[in-house]
Structure 1
């Protein structure tokens, strides 16, 4: 095969920065369909267990970033809502960057016979809010424009706001937009996306925001960014999800920002199951139920551990918190009471009861027999 200079450069870039080849060469696109067994991340989350209780129905998750390609067939009819863009679409493409569609798939992709990949909360609506053109935009991101995007998501009724592409610059406008969103009852999920020392992501580091770290299949942090504002972690390497530009998938993707999509989906599931929970209570529940590493302490890059969607939704845990973003100490964390196991079918209960009854009767008969024999040996007489 003849390899041009441009293609060679694209191959090298894709190899070393862990992005799809199509994204390195231009806009992200893929026609490949993932047909391998479910990925490690999907096995870890195991959404089918949670769907017995909730699929996120009635929830709207805003994806604030570079847009979402809602034409991918794994999104349901009218599942991806329309919204106003704050920046022009490059070339008129719905999601040139590709990350928004990838995140949207992790959250809400519908089951499809052609692939084993499926989203965690397929009952949720997805609201793309574009505030940046993506990887080609000037870095750092514009915090003022991000603030406007968050406000727009709140006004559109998003109960969960995923900041898919955070900025590295804070501003009073961003602080105010985050505070107002929390007061309005929205949960803001934002990744610690920094892969260089000293990088701080915003609004990830702001009070009340659910800060998310990323881990690989071995539990090792993917991102370099660290801080006490990271609450929980989620899969961020060797990932599979929907691709922009048609019915396709991208894999294996390594992206710290993608971890936040798993957490946003979990928030949608939890909010659907616990509709009266406040943002602070949601954060508290997710941190208390996270799968902690050995030692049980807080890790500066992974927070309180990997998010456990099933336990977060099903555990009988009081939804309490002393303030926005309250995180527990291991000593103060209440004991978790897992959900009750499904009741056995009546026939099994009946058989079990008969078996136990038979054992009891046999033991009683044996005891009577032994007692009578010993009594006769000792000359006991039974009174008439």
Structure 2
């Protein structure tokens, strides 16, 4: 038993990824925060589906600053050296835990975007060359006065977005939502878009008792890329909201970084948002001349179409495709719908004349074929007729020899000069 613990400690020290540690029940109940994750070696299904590493020879997202407006961020070995700046805009907690990311969502989103490859784990981020800007807008728990639960005050979101713009973010991921269309939030989003920043936002999860007609913001604003969540089999996650969806990405039971160390599973549209934000960072690094609108159009044009077709309420343009978004040639401009086909009306007299001409052409072909056959026949008679009469119309080839039984038994030899009379 002691040897097994020693081996575990050595593996942890060598990889920099801690094995899951569980706090004592009393301490865990007191802080109620996400604990460190485990050492998970297999390649997650989401990475097998999207394979963002195929495009790394062209782009790793280097030079991009991706802001994560969420629950904060806690250090993880896979994010070492890629957390550029942090800021806290969350309302004060009544009983603060002291944990930079108690909920763990911000750390998980950041890992999907920029976690570094490791020989000890199959997981890695979409754009490992990118830097993370962390804007904390949620404390140890979501505000109790927000309804439904899991939303944030729009003014708090606006503060986080404005800070990210001031810190020269090139992509802003907003995994948290609000249902309030406030001037402050709308103005912050418009400011980001006018400064050529790509804004990607989650559409959120539906609650069982939520009122109808809720629109998630900032995903509901024009120019913002709204993201829904899919499961491993490609279907829409049961709780993914079919409102303001432009793209979908893996968001059910995905692997990502946990606070402090290790990896674990997570679900929600906030983690699907991270995949789209990472893809946007790859595009911006490879094609820095593209505007915000051009990046969005490229992501839409290269998405894997959904079974329901483009424009589906649940899938939007389809599944984000990081490889094709970077490598494909996309025509500039917006697609234009073709005019409807107007059938041509043919007057009756023209139709009758055309039918007569068609019949005439058919008879001409038939007569030409019959004439050709007659010429071939006459030519054959003239060329081979005399020869046939000379042979009395017998075949010119020698008949095939036939075996006869008597040929196999020769007669006794005949004596030479046997026809002469014998001498006495």
Distance of 1:145 and 1:316 partners within structure 2: 39
Residue 295 of structure 1: CA displacement?
5.1
Among 225, 241, 248, the residue aligned to 1:233: 248
Distance of 1:330 and 1:113 partners within structure 2: 49
Q: Does residue 64 of structure 2 align to residue 59 of structure 1?
A: yes
User: Which entry has the higher C-alpha Rg, 1 or 2?
Assistant: 2
Residue 47 of structure 1: CA displacement?
2.1
Query: Which position in structure 2 is the counterpart of 1:256?
Result: 269
Residue 81 of structure 1: CA displacement?
1.7
Residue 330 of structure 1: CA displacement?
8.8
1:150/1:219 Cα in 2 relative to 1: closer, same or farther (>3 Å)?
A: same
CA contact (8 A) 1:108 1:265 kept: yes
CA contact (8 A) 1:59 1:268 kept: yes
Distance of 2:230 and 2:155 partners within structure 1: 30
Residue 278 of structure 1: CA displacement?
1.1
Distance of 1:180 and 1:132 partners within structure 2: 22
Query: Which position in structure 2 is the counterpart of 1:85?
Result: 88
Residue 302 of structure 1: CA displacement?
1.5
1:224/1:329 Cα in 2 relative to 1: closer, same or farther (>3 Å)?
A: farther
Among 167, 181, 200, the residue aligned to 1:170: 181
Residue 319 of structure 1: CA displacement?
4.2
Distance of 2:76 and 2:292 partners within structure 1: 31
CA contact (8 A) 2:154 2:180 kept: yes
> Secondary structure in 2 aligned to 1:150?
helix
> How do 1:1-384 residues align onto structure 2 when only pairs under 5 Å count?
26-35=32-41, 37-69=42-74, 71-77=75-81, 79-87=82-90, 88=92, 90-133=96-139, 135-138=141-144, 139=146, 140-196=151-207, 198=212, 199-222=214-237, 223-227=239-243, 229-244=244-259, 246-251=260-265, 253-294=266-307, 296-321=309-334
CA contact (8 A) 1:194 1:200 kept: no
Distance of 1:142 and 1:66 partners within structure 2: 13
CA contact (8 A) 1:285 1:319 kept: no
TM-score norm. by structure 2 comes to: 0.67
Residue 94 of structure 1: CA displacement?
1.0
> Secondary structure in 2 aligned to 1:94?
coil
TM-score norm. by structure 1 comes to: 0.74
CA contact (8 A) 2:97 2:140 kept: no
Q: Deviations over 1:162-199 (max 9, x none)?
A: 00212222201111111111000100000111323533
1:295/1:250 Cα in 2 relative to 1: closer, same or farther (>3 Å)?
A: closer
* Length, aligned pairs only: 299
CA contact (8 A) 2:142 2:152 kept: no
> Secondary structure in 2 aligned to 1:74?
helix
CA contact (8 A) 1:102 1:243 kept: yes
CA contact (8 A) 2:107 2:258 kept: yes
Residue 224 of structure 1: CA displacement?
4.0
Q: Which runs of 4+ in 1 moved over 4 A?
A: 22-25, 328-332
The gaps in structure 1 that reach 5 residues or longer are 1-21, 322-327, 333-384
Distance of 2:29 and 2:296 partners within structure 1: 34
CA contact (8 A) 1:141 1:169 kept: no
The gaps in structure 2 that reach 5 residues or longer are 1-27, 340-424
> Secondary structure in 2 aligned to 1:91?
coil
**Which 10-residue stretch deviates more, 146-155 or 86-95?**
86-95
Residue 23 of structure 1: CA displacement?
10
CA contact (8 A) 1:236 1:259 kept: yes
Q: CA RMSD in A?
A: 2.1
